[in-house]
Structure 1
Amino acid sequence: METPVGHTSEELLNANALPPIVDADTWQRELHALRVREKAATRDLDAIAAQRRRMPMVEMPDYTLDGEEGPVRLAEVFGGKSQLIVYHHMWFPGQEWQCGGCTGFTSQFTRLEFLDNYDARFVIVTQGPIDEALAYKRRVGNTMAWYSTANSTFGADVGVPPGGTFAVNVFLRSGDTVYRTWHTNGRGTEQLSHTFALIDLLPYGRREEWQDSPEGWPQSPKFSGWLDSPDIATLYGPDGPDA
């Protein structure tokens, strides 16, 4: 297993990779100016969330997925809740290690019981056969419930066909009827992540070449700092340090 590309303190702390040093009053003024933009962005996100709550919805067919205990209707995936968040995990047939981005992303979600207070559940759905999916879940230490659409058109019908990408879908249940209320993919999924939020607070950010950074800031190719699937298994899997 290769160690993800990183930077030593010596590589980072050079004359071209340090913010300018100013007095406390100047720093406070700069922080205030940034805070104005941050607060505006927070209010904008509030407005977006309000618009999301006003989205219409579309009724879904009565799909059957494969779960750990066998076939299960989509309405049953809610686990008795009325709201369901589904992360669609990329799957490549016959591969020992699945998408590193998906594996790392879902490894964040280890304590989801707080959703009970909001009448909601968060699960993973993948195109992989359920036996392979559950084996992979255990290998990388994932704790969420997994379901398979290998024998269903559900994934393809909600924007995640076999061989497709990753995505998030949200559903609302009324009795046995399920409705689709929201969808995103690509960088839209970042809003569910705490990893990028933490990294973006750092002076050097994600250190990826596409980011707008000052001249001389450490930057590497896209994804070069990400943990890969074997890294996740080493950290969180059954043979990890906390096993």
Structure 2
Amino acid sequence: MTTHLTGTREAWIAARLDLLADEKDLTRRSDELALRRQQLPWVRVEKDYRFDAEEGGVSLADLFKGRSQLLIYHFMFGPDYTAGCPSCSSIADGFNGITVHLENHDVAFSAVSRAPIAKLQAYKARMQWSFPWASSFGSDFNGDFGVWFTEEQQQQGGIAYNFRREAPMPPSPAGSTVQEWQLRGSEAPVAQLAAMAGTDVGTYTRDRPGVSAFVLDDGVIYHTYSSYARGVESIWGMYQWLDRAPKGRNEQGIWWRRHDEYGRA
């Protein structure tokens, strides 16, 4: 027998209408926040960032592809990873296929990662994705936009991610290598995610996720917005659905996998 509250249809309607009032309030608040994002001052991009894309070497301006706006997802895939971050991969499943809609509304979209373009293309083919994906390998782009940090910054407390300074990373945390996690099998989530990306915790966490927006106005590129950490959660489509499921997120540790890994032993 269920232990959850049960009731009549009339009781459900009453409770639902009460919740609806709060949902509408949240929607209005979300609209207000969206407007405030649009009202942020624009910051001129001074550097000539270069990327490798499917069509070859491109500039940041080229990523606009004739549009006036550009959205970038900072996908965690460092040069030393053997596969893309599983969390970013789940997020990418949610935004794969939207590019055509954005492009027909004057908005270009691209994922950007530090891994070389050949590695990105191979993983993209494995995942059967269609969105544009550029490599910033050898560029300052990820560092300048707060999604990549050096080992020195990591060890000396020089990482400022999500607009906050992080404490120095402790040396050699338990489960910090792929082999350790596989042997122990119950380490902290970050160690599990690092292992799933084929690298150690230190290397894995020097790359970070995020979203950045840019505008091309009268030939000049401006940075308009960036969001990191849980600020990216609103575009993680899986969670938007789970928040509406009867048992919610109902999580214990890292339960998700890349979409081609479910069912594997």
Instruction: Mark yes or no: TM-score above 0.5.
Output: yes
Alpha carbons 1:107, 1:141 under 8 Å: kept: no
Structure-to-structure mapping, 1:132-151, within 5 angstroms: 132-151=119-138
**Do structure 1's residue 194 and structure 2's residue 237 form an aligned pair?**
yes
* 2:61 counterpart SS class: helix
Alpha carbons 1:99, 1:229 under 8 Å: kept: no
Q: Distance in 2 between matches of 1:105 and 1:67?
A: 21
Shift of 1:130: 1.1
Alpha carbons 1:84, 1:170 under 8 Å: kept: yes
Q: Which residue number corresponds to residue 257 of structure 2?
A: 227
Shift of 1:85: 0.6
Alpha carbons 2:90, 2:236 under 8 Å: kept: no
Give unpaired runs (5+ residues) of structure 1: 1-13, 209-220, 235-243
**Do structure 1's residue 70 and structure 2's residue 56 form an aligned pair?**
yes
**1:126 aligns with one of 107, 113, 116:** 113
* 1:231 counterpart SS class: coil
Q: Which residue number corresponds to residue 69 of structure 2?
A: 83
RCO comparison, higher one (Cα < 8 Å, 6+): 1
Shift of 1:178: 1.1
Shift of 1:111: 2.3
Letter in 2 for 1:80: G
* 2:104 counterpart SS class: helix
Q: Which residue number corresponds to residue 217 of structure 1?
A: none
Q: Which residue number corresponds to residue 11 of structure 1?
A: none
Q: Which residue number corresponds to residue 175 of structure 2?
A: none
**1:41 aligns with one of 26, 36, 46:** 26
Structure-to-structure mapping, 1:75-114, within 5 angstroms: 75-112=61-98, 113-114=100-101
Shift of 1:104: 1.3
Shift of 1:97: 2.2
Shift of 1:222: 3.0
**What value does the CA root-mean-square deviation take over the aligned residues?**
1.8
* 2:19 counterpart SS class: helix
**Residues 227 and 148 of structure 1, relative CA distance in 2, 3 Å threshold:** same
**Residues 231 and 176 of structure 1, relative CA distance in 2, 3 Å threshold:** farther
Give unpaired runs (5+ residues) of structure 2: 150-205
Shift of 1:195: 1.8
Alpha carbons 2:147, 2:209 under 8 Å: kept: yes
**Do structure 1's residue 51 and structure 2's residue 94 form an aligned pair?**
no
Shift of 1:175: 4.2
Shift of 1:147: 0.5
Q: Which residue number corresponds to residue 152 of structure 1?
A: 139
Deviations 1:112-156 (A, max 9, x none): 211123200111100101111111111111211111111210111
Deviations 1:210-241 (A, max 9, x none): xxxxxxxxxxx2332x1236528x9xxxxxxx
**2:207 aligns with one of 159, 164, 169:** 164
Q: What fraction of aligned residue pairs are identical, expressed as a percent? A: 31
Q: Which residue number corresponds to residue 214 of structure 1?
A: none
Q: Distance in 2 between matches of 1:92 and 1:110?
A: 20
Deviations 1:166-191 (A, max 9, x none): 11101101244211101111111122
Q: Which residue number corresponds to residue 182 of structure 1?
A: 225
State the aligned residue count.
205
